[in-house]
């Protein structure tokens, strides 16, 4: 009889522990609702910012379309380089994807995931190969962009991106592929395929559409004067990319320099 009572008590306790707690359920529902509301507000604000940015560009173009044509061309060129002007045109698409084992969550396949270092090496080599504009999973790369790992997530512009990582590159397709084959990224991608079973595919694209980064207004930026007078010139476009010194064997370590 005692065994029956103990058994029934255990069943009752198990059901009680697994039963939904009335006090927690409304809190979870409220949290989910708040997350959805904040996400909707964020989407609305981003759309509003995009409209304002487009209006600013139209007003600027109209103001500089006459006597300021040369200045307008310079502004557009700087906008493309900084990522604050939308770009379209032909180019290439490089896709990196976690290995099948890593996608299934197989124990021991953690090294078979694409890391921020892999993306940094690739992007830096693409810049060195003549890329005009680059985006990772729709996130445009600009002068203030960082590609880094936070926990188990890869962040681009502080936004999480996941595998497959689609790197869209605007530029001359033939020149990009030829020059990319001579960079450290070519060897790096080969090792990712052969050693880590990570998918790495390069293909041409006839018409890529890369959106602009949100407009940011520097609050503390000031021109720096050189010793001989005048503003310091911007760095040369031929500066070696920071990813050139990254060894494939050290792909699990954070790079010393983040991609710009």
pLDDT at 147: 93
Q: Which helix (H) or strand (E) holds 209?
A: strand 199-210
Lowest mean pLDDT among 27-41, 123-137, 174-188: 27-41
pTM for this model (two decimals):
0.64
Residue 247 phi/psi, 5-degree rounding, is -85, 145
Smallest Cα–Cα separation from 124: which of 144, 140, 147? 147
pLDDT tens digit string along 111-164?
A: 999 999 999 999 999 999 999 999 999 999 988 888 998 877 899 988 888 899
Using CA atoms, how far residue 174 sits from 126, 166, 177, 199, 247, in Å, is 13, 19, 5, 22, 27
Confidence class for position 236, pLDDT limits 50, 70, 90: very low
Rounded Cα gap, residues 128 and 188, in angstroms: 15
Q: Which of 36-45, 77-86, 166-175, 205-214 reaches the highest mean pLDDT?
A: 166-175
How many angstroms from the chain centroid is the CA of residue 152? 15
pLDDT tens digit string along 44-93?
A: 887 787 777 778 777 777 776 766 667 767 767 777 777 778 889 999 99
Angle of CA points 253, 151, 101, to nearest 5°: 75
Rounded Cα gap, residues 79 and 71, in angstroms: 12
For residues 9-33, one letter each, b for 16 or more C-beta atoms within 10 angstroms of the residue's C-beta and e for the rest, the string is eeeeeeeeeeeeeeeeeeeeeeeee
Query: Is 80 exceeded by the pLDDT of residue 217?
Result: no
93 bridge partner residues: 168, 203
Using CA atoms, how far residue 56 sits from 5, 44, 53, 82, 205, in Å, is 77, 18, 5, 17, 30
- Contact 129/176 with Cβ under 8 angstroms? yes
Average model confidence (pLDDT) across the chain = 77
pLDDT tens digit string along 194-205?
A: 999 999 999 999
Query: Is 80 exceeded by the pLDDT of residue 238?
Result: no
How many angstroms from the chain centroid is the CA of residue 189? 18
pLDDT at 200: 95
Using CA atoms, how far residue 213 sits from 21, 119, 134, 205, 252, in Å, is 45, 19, 11, 22, 29
Radius of gyration (Cα) for the chain, nearest Å?
A: 25
Confidence class for position 260, pLDDT limits 50, 70, 90: very low
Mean pLDDT of 91-119: 93
Query: Is 50 exceeded by the pLDDT of residue 259?
Result: no
Query: Is 60 exceeded by the pLDDT of residue 247?
Result: no
22 vs 129: which has the higher pLDDT: 129
Q: Which of 16-20, 31-35, 103-107 reaches the highest mean pLDDT?
A: 103-107
Rounded Cα gap, residues 145 and 142, in angstroms: 5
Query: Is 60 exceeded by the pLDDT of residue 40?
Result: yes
How many angstroms from the chain centroid is the CA of residue 124? 13
């Amino acid at each position: 009889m005692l065994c029956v009572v103990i058994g029934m008590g255990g069943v009752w306790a198990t059901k009680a522990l697994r039963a939904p707690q009335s006090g927690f359920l409304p809190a979870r529902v409220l949290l989910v609702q708040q997350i959805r509301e904040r996400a909707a507000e964020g989407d609305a604000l981003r759309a509003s910012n995009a409209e304002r940015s487009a209006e600013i560009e139209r007003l600027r173009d109209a103001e500089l379309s006459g006597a300021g044509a040369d200045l307008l061309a310079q502004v557009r060129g700087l906008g493309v380089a900084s990522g604050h002007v939308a770009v379209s045109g032909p180019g290439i698409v490089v896709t990196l994807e976690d290995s099948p084992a890593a996608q299934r969550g197989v124990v021991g396949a953690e090294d078979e995931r694409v890391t921020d270092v892999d993306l940094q090496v690739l992007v830096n080599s693409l810049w060195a190969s003549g890329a005009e504009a680059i985006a990772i999973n729709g996130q445009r790369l600009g002068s203030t962009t960082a590609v880094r790992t936070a926990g188990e997530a890869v962040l681009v512009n502080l936004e999480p991106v996941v595998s497959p990582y689609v790197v869209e590159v605007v530029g001359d397709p033939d020149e990009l592929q030829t020059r990319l084959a001579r960079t450290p990224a070519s060897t790096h991608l080969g090792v990712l395929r052969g050693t880590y079973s990570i998918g790495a595919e390069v293909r041409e694209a006839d018409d890529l559409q890369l959106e602009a980064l949100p407009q940011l207004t520097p609050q503390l930026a000031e021109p720096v004067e050189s010793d001989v007078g005048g503003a310091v010139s911007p760095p040369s476009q031929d500066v070696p990319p920071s990813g050139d010194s990254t060894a494939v064997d050290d792909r699990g370590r954070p790079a010393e320099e983040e991609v710009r």
